[in-house]
Structure 1
Amino acid sequence: MMRSICTFLFKASGWTFKSDLPKDLRSFIFLGAPHTSNHDFVPAMAVATLMNRNTRFIIKDDWVKFPMSLIMKPAGAIGLDRKKLAEAGHASNTDVMAQLFKDYKELVLMIAPEGTRKATDAWKTGFYYIAQKAKVPIVLGYADFPKKIAGTGPVIYPTDFEKDMKQIMDFYRNITGKVPANFKLDSRYQ
């Protein structure tokens, strides 16, 4: 229901979805950037729906408890309780997230690489290690607010961290988020 509402709002407000994903690419890490505002939720959910794949995202466990579970779970949220993971002896969050690709036959895991809606010079790079561990590619997703275009960009098969991160930064260089001042490229890879 939530995804349908977001897709309706997306289309009704004049947004365009662009994607040339191969039809047989069913499991991957999906980067969502720029992530500058809570307003990113509508195009993100629309893109998740329009890709026509099992698109999910990780969120704090509290957000998938009643009553928020009524909204967040159908939207694709998977709750992550970091305290319980640490107590259970899990090596890292990247291991747990990579395991999801074994738990689900097809999975698109949406991740906001900046890790915050505020401007940051250093992105979280866990997405790269999750992709490596799960042996899945990384698809660059975007929502360009001034142009009202959202969708999928290049598919990157992780092979060379530095080179791949530079390619990611080059792609996002000309994408503008809802709050432009809240988006920075990772200064380590420009």
Structure 2
Amino acid sequence: MTTIEDQPPGRLARLVRAAMLGFYRRRGWTAVGEVPAPRRFVIIAAPHTSNWDFLYYLGLTADLGIRAHFMGKHSLFRWPIGGFMRQMGGIPVDRRGGLDHVRQMVAEFARRDEFMLTIAPEGTRGKTKKWRTGFYHIAVAAKVPMVVGLMDYGRKAGGLGPLIWPTGDFRADMEKILAVYRDCTPKYPDRAVRSISDIVGDAEGAMT
């Protein structure tokens, strides 16, 4: 395995993280939970019902002292903003040539000693009845656990919940994850996926 290290954050990236941390704290948010070791896992960012989720999440990661990563379209990593995107934790995903994002992220896990990949399974801040299952496939193929990410607007507390290893039984694993989220209040509760029946079905067939 060829281990790679992240590009150190530049001045602009440090200023943005500091600004988000200050904003997060001024709004009365606090961080809960601990960062599991080793720092190699998929962070499930749900429910994702508002653009505010991302801003508060940046403050949360700064508060917890972690450098989480996220996927982005490869065209966003060109000059002039490419360097900044990488310094903020962005990982380019190139869908040209038939490569899917699952295989690309599994390869990233294989190249890194530390990699905390954040994925919003709802894929949108709007109302949805399905979760995209790429986060689960990545965890299974990379042989890494999933960590439940929480942004609880009821308590103004954000953090990392329990670590859950994928077993290959998609329904059973999703039940464990949703059980954690049932006590978490999103900004717009009516937009959040709450029922196991909303996220299984075709996904179960894909795992067999």
Report the alpha carbon displacement of residue 12 of structure 1 after superposing the two structures with TM: 1.6
Report the Cα distance in structure 1 between the residues aligned to 2:39 and 2:187, rounded to whole angstroms: 29
Q: Is the partner of 2:161 in helix, strand or coil?
A: strand
Q: Partners of 1:12 and 1:112 in 2: how far apart?
A: 25
Identity %: 36
Between structure 1 and structure 2, the one with the greater Rg is 2
For residues 26 and 81 of structure 1, the distance between their equivalents in structure 2, rounded to whole angstroms, comes to 25
**Is 1:130 the equivalent of 2:143?**
no
Task: Find the counterpart in structure 1 of residue 4 from structure 2.
Answer: none
- What amino acid sits opposite 2:34 in the alignment? D
* 2:70 corresponds to 1:57: yes
TM-score using structure 2 length: 0.80
**Alpha carbons of structure 1 residues 96 and 186: separation in structure 2 relative to 1, 3 Å:** farther
1:145 aligns with 2:153: yes
Give the structure 2 partner of residue 169 of structure 1: 178
> C-alpha offsets along residues 140-165 of structure 1, whole Å, 9 cap, x if unaligned?
00111232110011100111321111
Aligned pair count reads 184
Aligned residue number for residue 74 of structure 1 = 87
Structure 1 residue 72: deviation in Å?
A: 3.0
Look up the equivalent residue of 1:44 and give its one-letter code.
Y
Please list the CA deviations of residues 2-29 of structure 1 after superposition, one character each: whole Å capped at 9, or x if unmatched. 222111111121101001334x331100
Aligned to 1:3, which of 12, 17, 23?
17
Query: Partner residue of 1:181?
Result: 190
- Assess if the C-alpha contact under 8 Å between 1:57 and 1:76 holds in 2: yes
User: What secondary structure sits across from 1:31 in the alignment?
Assistant: strand
Gaps of 5+ in 2: 1-13, 201-208
Structure 1 spans left out of the alignment, 5+ residues: none
Query: C-alpha offsets along residues 14-71 of structure 1, whole Å, 9 cap, x if unaligned?
Result: 101001334x331100011111111112221122223333410002223333444365
TM-score, length basis structure 1:
0.87
CA distance in 2, matches of 1:173, 1:56: 25
Flag the structure with more relative contact order, 1 or 2, with Cα contacts below 8 A and sequence separation at least 6. Answer: 1
Q: CA RMSD in A?
A: 2.0
1:20 correspondence with 2:34: yes
Change (3 A) 1:179 1:66: farther
